[in-house]
Structures are given as C-alpha cells and as structure tokens.
Chains A and B, each alone.
Chain A
Amino acid sequence: MGVLDRLGEGGASVSDLAGPAGMSLTGMKKHIGILEEAGLVRTEKRGRTRWCELATEGFDEAAFWLEEFRRRRHEQLNRLEEVVERRKRERQT
C-alpha cells in the first residue's frame, strides 16, 4: 500500500509508515519530505516522532487545475467541431 493510501485512512508517524512500506526510516523521511514540499502531506513534531497527515487542500488544488485544463481544452475542441462542420458543408456544396 502506498504512503498516500495509508495516510488516506488516517494520520501516522514516519516509523509507522516506514515498516509496512519496506523502507528505512531515513528513506521514508526523505519521501515524506518530497510529499510535503508538493503540498500533499502535512507533518508536525509530536514528542520524539514526526506525525504525518494528508494535506487535503493540496489534492483539491491539483484536481482543480486539471479540471480547468480539461474544461478549456474541451471548449477549444468544441470550436474545432464547429469549424469542422462548416468545412464539411462547404465541401458538400
């Protein structure tokens, strides 16, 4: 199971995550660091461990970008379709 899938079920410490993922503590720390930089994971120090949670707003933002791209591309291809229709009619006459 991926780290993000695991965190989707709830928060966990870095060492909770490392074991099941078959990674060293250092490796997992690095991995979490990358996810944190990407805005997908949020961490905080709790006693002697680092606690990790999904940063849901990061996912919302990513999904929003893609949705906007999709919408724009769709609009553009709708216009292409109109030009295609006109072109087809011109060819027939």
Chain B
Amino acid sequence: MTGLNELHKTVVTLPADTEIHTERIFDAPPEVIWDCFMDPELLKQWLGPDRLEMRVDEFDARPGGKWSYVHIDSDGTEYRFFGEFVELDRPVRAVQTFNFVMEPQPPPSVDELNLIPLENDQTRLVTKTTFESREQRDGMIQAGMEKGMNEGYEKLDSILAGRER
C-alpha cells in the first residue's frame, strides 16, 4: 500500500457553472470498482463522510429502479438521500439521479459514473455531476465544507485530548 495515495490523487474540477467533475485512478479492473458502487454491502463500507453509519433502505440496481440510503450521526440524526437509476452498463457507465432530502426539496442532480480500463488492470474513474443551477452546485460544495470543517474540528478535539484519531 506504500505510496498508493500519492499515485492516486483525486482531481476535482468545475468545467462548467453547473458541473463538478472528479477523476481518480484505481489499481483494479472496472468490474471490481463497479461492484463497489452497485453492491450495497460494499457501497456502505466506503461511501459518505467519516464516522457516519450508513444504512441502505432501497437499492434496485436496474434502469428505472430506486435507491435510498441514510447516513446516521452518533446523535441519531439521519441524512437521507434518494434517487433513481437511469442507465446501467456494467462495467462501463452508470447514470443515476441524486437527491439530498431537505425542505423545500431542490431538483435532483444527475450523477454519471464512467469507468475507463487502463493498462495493468487499472481503472480511471471519472464522475460528472450536473446540477440545475450554479447556485445549487455551490450549495453542494458549501454543504461539504461545513461537514468537512466539523470533521476537522473533531479530529482537532481528539489531538487536543491526546488520543489517536
């Protein structure tokens, strides 16, 4: 595992006002990556912010099928997400709608997942998320900032308390 993270940097770009792109290389063939996204048992092992429990309530991985899951805080607060699978072409490309439950409910964003096979059984993962508006996209980034900041503070707390993270 040495140096893996150095080689496998995540590249995040904002190529248009309503889009977020991310790219990342993995040391595994596309089929393996695909299963980590489309098998709920595997998905809940890695998706979402640190330290939040994840519960998958619905996961019907076929075009038109619905998915929904919650991230659960230690105080029991639930953050619910839901959407619908639009296109599933294992192990190449998946398209799904994505909603974070809030009042009033904003329009869904559309998530595209593309898996490009590389030499040596590697895969380039490319995601593209398209929002209704720039406002909505920036709101998403902002929400990430808040969470990230809180996580940062929690880590700082642990350090100050003299514990391992």
Contacts and interface: CB of A to CB of B under 8 A. Distances in A.
A65 B137 CA distance: 11
A63 to B, nearest CB: 11
A24 interface: no
Contact of A66 (B5, B14, B35): B14
| Overall SS of chain A's interface | helix
A86 to B, nearest CB: 8
B67 to A, nearest CB: 17
7 nearest CB pairs, A to B: A79-B46, A68-B148, A68-B145, A74-B10, A69-B144, A70-B12, A65-B141
Interface residues of A, number: 24
Contacts of A64: 145
B26 A84 contact: yes
B108 to A, nearest CB: 19
9 contacts: A66-B141, A68-B145, A68-B148, A76-B48, A81-B8, A84-B36, A87-B28, A87-B35, A87-B36
